[in-house]
Structure 1
Amino acid sequence: MHIEPTVDRFRVFYQLHCEQGFYSLAQRPTTKKILLSPPMSFHDWKPKFFYIKAE
């Protein structure tokens, strides 16, 4: 769609979610799904954790 991904745009669709001390990203309930069939896993994507940093 030729739209540059930014942290602000990402935050429109997802929010930080904490459950039992574990953090994850959850889709905001008021937005449309941007992935109709999300992947089940990301094998060999990154060997460690990653951060999303707003600048």
Structure 2
Amino acid sequence: MDIAPMVERFRVFYQLHCSQGFYSFTQRPSVKKIILTPQKSFHVWKSNFFLLNQE
């Protein structure tokens, strides 16, 4: 789609969620689903991780 990824755009669809000390992203209930079949596991997560800096 030739759209640059930006934190502001990501936050439109997802929100930070904490459960039992683990953080993850959950889809905002007020927007349409953009991923219809979610991943069941991430086998190569170590080579494909990213860091969010909240300054």
With the length of structure 1 as denominator, give the TM-score of the two structures: 0.76
Query: After TM superposition, which residue ranges in structure 1, 4 or more long, deviate above 4 angstroms?
Result: none
- What is the match of residue 26 of structure 2? 26
**Does the 8 A contact of 1:17 with 1:23 survive in 2?**
yes
Q: Show structure 1 runs of 5+ residues with no match.
A: none
Q: Deviation per CA, 1:5-37: give whole Å up to 9, x if none.
A: 111100000001112222111110001111111
Matching of residue 39 in structure 1 with residue 39 in structure 2: yes
If each structure's helix is expressed as a fraction of its own residues, which one has the higher value? Answer: 2
Give the length in aligned residue pairs: 55
CA apart distance, 1:54: 6.0
With the length of structure 2 as denominator, give the TM-score of the two structures: 0.76
What is the CA RMSD across the aligned residues, in angstroms? 2.3
Q: Show structure 2 runs of 5+ residues with no match.
A: none
